[in-house]
Amino acid sequence: MCLAIPAKIITVCADGMASVDILGASRTVALDLVPQAGLGDFVLVHAGYAIEVISESAARETLDLIAEFPELLGQAPD
């Protein structure tokens, strides 16, 4: 099973890379598959690549679902 995680683009570099925020963690991803993505956009990230631009509401909905499973975030359940 593959899982893509929503992320917000926080910087875009000239080399087709971007820095994104994923649940408070900063990661560098390639924008090769979504050249239309820009600063402030939400994208789905899989294996170091942004694979789709999504709406903020879709990103928030998915992140809220992920938060319901603390083990996915490396946290112990309450």
Supply the pLDDT for residue 2: 75
10 Å Cβ neighbour count for 69?
10
pLDDT band at 3; cut points 50, 70, 90: confident
Domains of the chain: 5-73 (2.30.30.140)
Report the C-alpha gap between 78 and 61 in whole angstroms.
21
Contact criterion met (CB below 8 Å) for 33 and 50: yes
pLDDT digits (tens, 9 = 90+) for 40-72: 999 999 999 999 999 999 999 999 988 888 776
User: pTM of the full predicted structure?
Assistant: 0.85
